[in-house]
Amino acid sequence: MKRNIILIAALCSVMLVNQSCEGDFLNTQPTDAISGQELSLMNNNEGAESFVTAIYAKYLDWNISSFAWIGVSSIITDDADKGSDPSDAGTDKDILDALTFTATTPSFQSIWEGHYQAINRSNQALKFLPLLTNADANLRARLEGEAKFLRAFSYFMLVKCYGGVPLVDHVPVAGNEDDRVMTLTRKSKEEIYAFIEKDLNEAISALPAKSAYTGNNVGRASKGAAYALLAKVSLYQKKWQQVIDNCNLVTGYSLTPNFADIYRVSGENNQESIFEIQGLGGQATPGIQQYSQVQGARGAGGWGWGFCTPTQNLVDAYNEEGDTERRNATIIFRNSTLYDGRVVPSTVAAPYYNYKAYSSAFTGSDDSDANIRYLRYSEVLLMKAEAMNELGQTAQAAPFLNQVRNRAGLANTTATSQADLRNAIWKERRLELAFEHDRWFDLIRTGQAQAAMAANGKTFVTGKHELFPIPNSFIIESKGMSGQNPGY
């Protein structure tokens, strides 16, 4: 690939707010309203593209992919500790780590706001794209598919975190009472899941295969990404046959032979990659805001803030003989030499750091060039194995688990019963997908959370911690139209 990802936005007016035209789509920011004259100027292919590239750009922001998200998806789990200095709370990361958070804990509001901002950008794109009649019709159709995929992606993140949330399916009109009610009223999680499925099915009909994207378009949402996300959405609803059916439609991908290669710059968007949040990084170039810096090694000889440090529990989980390569590609150890030749000194503050967030090009600027891998082919194999096993097809499921194990250097599983294979798949997901922002939600959906947290010295409250609290500011604003999740 190279890292200008997706698309160069040629139109550097109207959609840009206090930004210069530097030939990169990541600089785009949408305005709240677009006049008829401005829309006329955008009535071309470049203008159409700029609406959707602005959605992708949102996923680089601090409040959607960085510190808060690292906290609620990794630090909160048994895979990571808060890290940093004991006296540095990281705003609320100590509270997240201890599972003592409340409805006023800032990270939950950040994530809520970030994803609704992304949803708003998707809604803007879907509103204005049909009006750009001078833009190529096939291009507009594909862009609408991308916008629906990204809207579904954000709603999936929200429903996993909060359960039912407001379903904002169009740009609200100021002063319109129905739209006010729409934005302040939570729908059920079942309604949100149904909407996600609708968006993804419509996206599938419009999106091309990954192989159709070349050059600066590499990294855009593809048909395979939509099928894989739909499979994952079905997994969370225990729609096992739908999981299998959608996994079977994720074609044209293969496992990267060397696991460690996935997380290097050279491994971005490779044959295993299905969907990644793309970043540039370095001086004066946009990247995922401080994603690497927050998690970089802290102390003498370090290069970051030192948050989200791997737990001893996770290190010890790589306990099968032969799993050394995957462990060493996931966890940075003191005194080790990283793939770019950097030596990790013994003077860094913690014994372990997150290798998957490491940026070889990171030199102290806020934005690094690390991509976030959200959907990989190995997960498709594990989802299919899990669904087949749940349907009683245990013997047929094992080979899909074994593909992932064998790539990691492990022998075929010895599990033969449904219960044993279920546990083997769950463990494999932990080891394979560590620090890819799935662990907490896997623990919740599989019912393992209370036991896993207890083993890590944390108290998980059943009936409460399955969902995060709705931000208190939203509950106040809703004035009784939306209620809080249980226990908060």
SS (H, E, C) 3-48: CCCCCCCCCCCCCCCCCCCCCCHHHCCCCCCCCHHHHHHCCCHHHH
Whether 297 and 345 have beta carbons less than 8 Å apart is answered as no
pLDDT at 248: 98
Strand 352-354, strand 331-333: pairing? antiparallel
Q: Output the six-digit token pair for 215.
A: 């050059």
- The DSSP bridge partners found for residue 332 are 353
Return phi, psi of residue 289, to 5°: -60, 105
Model confidence at 39: pLDDT above 80? yes
- What is the spatial distance between Cα 116 and Cα 155, in angstroms, rounded to a whole number? 9
pLDDT at 367: 77
pLDDT band at 270 (very low <50, low <70, confident <90, very high): very high
Give the whole-number percent of the chain exceeding pLDDT 90: 86
The residue with tokens 């996206």 is: 203
Q: How many CB atoms lie within 10 A of CB 153?
A: 29
Helices 240-248 and 223-236, packing angle to 10 deg: 170
- What is the spatial distance between Cα 430 and Cα 452, in angstroms, rounded to a whole number? 12
Model confidence at 18: pLDDT above 90? no
- pLDDT tens for 377-425 read 999 999 999 999 999 999 999 999 999 999 999 999 999 999 999 999 9
Burial per residue of 425-435, b for 16 or more beta-carbon CB atoms within 10 angstroms, e otherwise: bbebbbbbbbb
Helix (H) or strand (E) holding 418: helix 418-433
- What is the spatial distance between Cα 391 and Cα 186, in angstroms, rounded to a whole number? 33
- pLDDT tens for 132-161 read 999 999 999 999 999 999 999 999 999 999
Q: Name the architecture of domain 1-207+461-488.
A: Alpha Horseshoe (1.25)
Q: Which residue has the higher pLDDT, 465 or 40?
A: 465
- pLDDT tens for 449-474 read 999 999 999 999 999 999 999 999 99
Mean pLDDT, residues 55-61 taken together: 95
pLDDT at 17: 29
Mean pLDDT, residues 321-346 taken together: 96
- What is the spatial distance between Cα 362 and Cα 97, in angstroms, rounded to a whole number? 27
- What is the spatial distance between Cα 358 and Cα 242, in angstroms, rounded to a whole number? 35
Domain ranges of the chain: 1-207+461-488, 288-370
Q: Find the largest Cα–Cα distance for the chain.
A: 67
CA angle 388, 389, 394 (to 5 degrees): 105
Model confidence at 24: pLDDT above 80? no
Mean pLDDT, residues 110-119 taken together: 97
CA angle 260, 69, 476 (to 5 degrees): 170
pLDDT band at 9 (very low <50, low <70, confident <90, very high): very low
- What is the spatial distance between Cα 420 and Cα 414, in angstroms, rounded to a whole number? 9
Model confidence at 14: pLDDT above 60? no
Q: Which class for 173: exposed (0-12), middle (13-18), buried (19 or more C-beta within 10 A)?
A: exposed
- What is the spatial distance between Cα 24 and Cα 11, in angstroms, rounded to a whole number? 10
468 Cβ contact partners less than 8 Å away, ≥ 6 residues apart: 72, 101, 108, 161, 162, 485
- pLDDT tens for 349-369 read 999 999 999 987 755 567 778
Give the whole-number percent of the chain exceeding pLDDT 70: 91
The residue with tokens 């954000």 is: 154
- What is the spatial distance between Cα 24 and Cα 53, in angstroms, rounded to a whole number? 10
> What are the C-alpha distances in Å from 347 to residues 263, 335, 413?
25, 9, 39
- What is the spatial distance between Cα 465 and Cα 444, in angstroms, rounded to a whole number? 9
